[in-house]
Amino acid sequence: NTIKVGDEVKVRITANGGNTFDRIPAYMNRVVQSWTDGSFSGQVWEDDYKWNDGAFFKNVKVKKPLIYECHVGMATEEERIGTYNEFRESILPRIKKDGYNCIQIMAIMEHPYYASFGYQVTNFFAVSSRFGTPEELKMLIDAAHGMGIAVLLDIIHSHSATNTMEGLGEFDGTDYQYFHTGAKGHHPAWDTRLFNYGKNEVIHFLLSNIKYWIEVFHFDGFRFDGVTSMLYNDHGLGSNFDNYNKYFSMNTDLEAITYLQFANELIKEVNPNSITIAEDMSGMPGMCIPIKEGGIGFDYRLAMGVPDFWIKTVKSRDEDWNMDWMWHELTSRRPQEKNIGYCESHDQALVGDKTIMFWLADKEMYWCMDKDNQSQIIARAMDYHKIIRLVTSTLAGEGYLNFMGNEFGHPEWIDFPREGNGDSHKYAKRQWSLVDNKELKYQYLQNFDNAMIKMLNDCPIFESNPELIKIHNDDKVLVYKKRELYFVFNFHTWVTREIELPLSGRCRVVLESDLREYGGKTDRREYIDNCNRVTLVPRSAIVLVK
């Protein structure tokens, strides 16, 4: 019989010993789930989508990545799974208006278990069908490019789901076709299979996967997940990388490092204007150094220590916030290795944790976010929410990342439908109505984020190293300079500070966190006539230029 488009297919394999079983072809580009028994099958698929992004794709280099991390399925406010079309129509315009120039899309590669957040992949060439069709994903990417927004794929080459019926696990009846055999091929914390990067066939499979996502779907780059797990034979579990011997030892997986070099070289060959980002918490030297100089070749690494610092900080008393520790955590990185700074990503809000705004305000958010409410708990939370973002975006990297909804202080946590919560979508959605409601204070945080992102777009902040002007732990004062801009912070929770600056005469106010339009009490001012002394109310910041 002739196989036609729409038919569901599997490949029948006869293994050594005569056992026969069915598998989904490893290069299948569409996988669908049965409504009756929940099983997965490959589906024959083709499309003739005509792209309209020729002026952008491969021709535009995003030099200052302002990344909006997002998940298509949870981007709807309804308690269900959202679609590519809904994201294109409803969410992309929000991102464009907010000023972000990149989106980093999670959970695109097919994964049977929705609650894995897309990190347990079974079908590496298949677009997740729970959100829509391949054409609809292409339409989303095409629309983003039309808005001048680059699209990054959250790619998972660090491990694979153990599934055999759907994925690569025991694809040919053995445990070693794609993976290391025995304990070396099993991740003890994730319960997933680990690729054997020493096999040419595995390298070819993964590299062809990278080229596929660029050429077929026009992705502009990748955020590589789980790089730390790849770099070390013990996957970095429980390791404290406190000296350089930890990086260069028998524990280092040289085959994985070589694969990452191959991957970065291929990506730049296919699209020289692409962006690659490493999720590495170990701080491996050379991660973001060119391969020709002995590095691994990534453009950026995620500044993963920064959100950990902020969560620890907001859990402590205000008077215990340490300015010296803050400066150290936000500025300590190797020269010439670029970071993407961020306060919180999806990781920090996963079940068991909370968004920064929810840590700061807690249950008050349920009752006191209306404009007329004078809650001091909410006032404090909003003040810190704004200046935490400002100091992080301007110090912690050469780019910035925000997870969707956190720009307006999204409450609570993220929890996908699973057996433990009755398969509920209650916390796997985004409450856009909160920021759209003009009677609530969420819009103030959104307004500030918009102004901050505009400043990051307009000013050469990422292109220069910071110069520390003043730091005082007891006074909770921090002042630094980047190019012509002076950043002045008063982190004290109740004391107004008059801060002396090495400036004289008139300065223009670039950004001020305490403006009424951002939920503060200060009227907008374009200039300060005598800027050698600047008065800042508690929990506020101002950016000045001579």
Q: In 10 A of CB 494, how many CB atoms?
A: 11
Strands 527-528 and 507-512: antiparallel
Options 136, 279, 329, 398, the catalytic residue = 279
Going by C-alpha positions, the residue among 396, 362, 414 that lies closest to residue 482 is 396
Rounded Cα distance between 278 and 307, Å, is: 16
Tokens describing residue 118: 């897309």
Quickly list DSSP for 218-286.
Answer: ---EEEETTHHHHHBTTTTTT----SGGGTSSTTB-HHHHHHHHHHHHHHHHH-TT-EEEE--SS--TT
Question: Can you give 314-374 as a three-state secondary structure string?
Answer: HCCCHHHCCHHHHHHHHHCCCCCCCEEECCCCCHHHECCCCCHHHHHHCCHHHHCCECCCC
Distance set, CA 145 to CA 51, 87, 135, 140 (Å): 10, 14, 15, 9
458 is catalytic: no
415 is catalytic: no
73: three-class secondary structure by DSSP: coil
- Do 543 and 455 form a contact (C-beta atoms < 8 A)? yes
Options 98, 136, 154, 225, the catalytic residue = 225
470: three-class secondary structure by DSSP: strand
Rounded Cα distance between 390 and 392, Å, is: 5
Q: Which helix (H) or strand (E) holds 42?
A: strand 40-43
Tokens describing residue 101: 């120039």
Radius of gyration for the chain, computed over Cα atoms and rounded to the nearest angstrom? 24
Neighbour-count burial of 46, counting CB atoms closer than 10 A to its CB (0-12 exposed, 13-18 middle, 19+ buried):
exposed
At which residue do the structure tokens 């679609």 appear? 83
Tokens describing residue 48: 């003739």
Rounded Cα distance between 30 and 127, Å, is: 6
At which residue do the structure tokens 């490949």 appear? 11
Catalytic residues: 225, 279
